[in-house]
Amino acid sequence: GKANIGVVGLAVMGSNLARNLASREGNTVAILNRSYEKTQKLLDEHPEAGFLPARDYEEFAATLAKPRTAIIMVKAGRGTDAVIDELVRVFEPGDIIVDGGNALFTDTIRREKAVRETGINFVGAGISGGEEGALNGPSIMPGGSAEAWQTLGPILRSIAAVAEGEPCVTHVGTDGAGHFVKMIHNGIEYADMQLIAEAYDLIRRGTGKSPAEIADIFAEWNRGELESYLIEITAEVLRQTDPATGEPLVDVILDQAGAKGTGAWTVQTALDLGVPVSGIAEAVFARSLSSKPAQRAAAAELPGPDGTFDIHDADAFVEDVRQALYASKIIAYSQGFDAIVAGAEQYGWDIKKGDIAAIWRGGCIIRAQFLNRITEAYAADPGLVALVTAPYFADAVTRTQQAWRRVVVAAAEAGIPSPAFSSSLAYYDGLRADRLPAALVQGQRDFFGAHTYKRIDREGTFHTLWSGDRSEVSAVDTH
């Protein structure tokens, strides 16, 4: 028999995805890797999977039933282009090439356009959940054509994570929509992680509790509205003792956070789209700051509070931090969905926001009950202009904003950096402000650059003759 699906690239992600596919009823999986050792290793270790191995692209194409469908799981970038070129060479019109790697969505748009000209379908699919997800059920965000989704949909539904009975996969939109949404997912993940880290830091310094005690607090939070995979694993990490020293593991890990770039992509894209994803940006920048040991050492003696502070009611403070975390998290997700809305508009994608929240409920790193509330908000109002204004979320910030302010004040006074908490609050206050000092900025811009301004009381565009008699003219007169 022939294979109904193939996987190219058998490093950790590809081999786990191939095993996941093979374990589902009705699938026969063809496998190919640039170097044959990885193929042989997978065959040896998993004879039960019934893989059909190929040594080259010709054999791979011959092993696949038509329309041929292959998922690429190779190193993103040039490796992906190299594999696409080979597949285009051996595939035929109507066949489907899926890139499941972490491609930049603009690369996916370019590749889709080029591959489509050959009559072959190209689908960029964001796959979230790491190795574990690839093996047991990831959250999958496919783009590409509706035609390709017809064939691909049932296969991807069979391997995706399941949340409340629903597979965590949906056709996100055309060409790069899937990789775009995966990128935003990762951006939100950065913000969520940074917020949790700030919450931990504030509790530890504010109350003197040990990491193990704080693990208990996170485990408790995980039973409430903050319930999520990230809160759950945070408790696990905080509870871990270093076998070598007997110290809490978190105290022996070097405090310089790494990044593989998808958070930065989100921020760069949001800048281009003009969407303030300040929570995500602060999270990306917080990792950058942490990874500047020379600057940190040089600044270590600069004045400021030493980060300790006295909390008379530890329980009340912990509850304040919990509420600040929830409020800030709402802002991070609200900003992430703003970026999805703006991207959909810019690139012509018909993205169902509620469906995106729904497929993030399982398999991926930001999976959480909370996402149901987002799905409900967009179901109630598909044209919702800002997630934070939806009734459920507006209620949540109404309930939590006093605590949020207390926490940001306490952090500032104690000299504890809380960039994501405080910028989320500033964003919230900016959004709800009746008047913003943007009026003054417009005045400044008009002064030095004759950039003009609009008035609150009259139609039109105006300019003040700053270097003349300072009278106001209608802007058309100045050009």
Residues annotated as part of the active site: 182, 189
Q: CB count, 10 Å around CB of 404? A: 24
Q: Is the dihedral of CA 320, 324, 325, 326 positive or negative?
A: positive
At residue 72, the 3 state secondary structure works out as: strand
Q: Which is nearer to ligand NDP, 7 or 351 (CB)?
A: 7
User: Could you say which of 19, 38, 367, 463 contacts ligand NDP (CB under 6 A)?
Assistant: 38
Q: Which is nearer to ligand NDP, 63 or 80 (CB)?
A: 80
CB of 100 to ligand NDP, least distance (A): 7
Structure tokens that stand for 397 in this block: 């910030």
* Residue 261 touching ligand NDP (CB under 6 A): no
CB of 132 to ligand NDP, least distance (A): 9
* Residue 177 touching ligand NDP (CB under 6 A): no
User: Could you say which of 6, 53, 67, 101 contacts ligand NDP (CB under 6 A)?
Assistant: 101
At residue 375, the 3 state secondary structure works out as: helix
* Residue 13 touching ligand NDP (CB under 6 A): yes
Residue owning tokens 């600044």? 299
User: Could you say which of 27, 28, 33, 151 contacts ligand NDP (CB under 6 A)?
Assistant: 33
* Residue 380 touching ligand NDP (CB under 6 A): no
What is the per-residue binding string for ligand NDP in 103-142, x denoting contact by CB under 6 A? ------------------------xxxx------------
User: Could you say which of 3, 5, 73, 358 contacts ligand NDP (CB under 6 A)?
Assistant: 73
Cα separation, 88 vs 97, in Å, equals: 8
Buried/exposed code over 175-187 (b: 16+ C-beta within 10 A; e: otherwise): bbbbbbbbbbbbb
Q: Which is nearer to ligand NDP, 17 or 414 (CB)?
A: 17
Residue owning tokens 């802007």? 475
Q: Which is nearer to ligand NDP, 175 or 320 (CB)?
A: 175
Question: Could you give phi then psi for residue 360, rounded to 5 degrees?
Answer: -90, 0
CB of 289 to ligand NDP, least distance (A): 25
Residue 165 carries which DSSP code? Answer: T
Instruction: Give whole-number Cα distances, 189 to 52, 133, 227, 231, 382, in Å.
Output: 36, 16, 15, 12, 24
CB of 399 to ligand NDP, least distance (A): 34
Cα separation, 368 vs 230, in Å, equals: 9
Q: Which is nearer to ligand NDP, 191 or 425 (CB)?
A: 191
CB of 103 to ligand NDP, least distance (A): 7
Q: Which is nearer to ligand NDP, 72 or 215 (CB)?
A: 72
What is the per-residue binding string for ligand NDP in 420-449, x denoting contact by CB under 6 A? ------------------------------
Of the candidates 338, 332, 343, 376, which has an alpha carbon nearest to the alpha carbon of residue 357?
A: 376
* Residue 366 touching ligand NDP (CB under 6 A): no
Which stretch in 71-79, 167-175, 244-252, 304-312 sits in contact with ligand NDP by CB under 6 A?
71-79
Cα separation, 429 vs 423, in Å, equals: 10
Structure tokens that stand for 316 in this block: 């009340």
Range 201-260, binding ligand NDP (CB under 6 A): none
Question: Could you give phi then psi for residue 142, rounded to 5 degrees?
Answer: -85, 140
Q: Which is nearer to ligand NDP, 101 or 173 (CB)?
A: 101
Q: Where are the alpha helices (DSSP H) in 138-176?
A: 146-159
User: Could you say which of 29, 54, 76, 357 contacts ligand NDP (CB under 6 A)?
Assistant: 76
Residue nearest to ligand NDP (CB): 101
With contact defined as beta carbons under 8 Å apart, do 168 and 363 qualify? yes
CB of 232 to ligand NDP, least distance (A): 17
CB of 38 to ligand NDP, least distance (A): 5
Question: Which residues contact residue 323 at a Cβ distance below 8 angstroms, ignoring those fewer than 6 apart?
Answer: 399, 400, 403, 404, 407
* Residue 85 touching ligand NDP (CB under 6 A): no
Count residues near ligand NDP (CB under 6 A).
24
* Residue 12 touching ligand NDP (CB under 6 A): yes
CB of 34 to ligand NDP, least distance (A): 3
Angle among Cα 416, 422, 423 to the nearest 5 degrees reads: 135
Q: Which is nearer to ligand NDP, 78 or 435 (CB)?
A: 78
Cα separation, 392 vs 427, in Å, equals: 19
Concatenated DSSP letters of 409-475: HHHHHHT---HHHHHHHHHHHHHH-SS-THHHHHHHHHHHH---B--SSSSS-EEE-TTTT--EEEH
Binding residues (CB under 6 A) for ligand NDP: these are: 9-14, 33-35, 38, 73-76, 78-79, 82-83, 101-102, 127-130
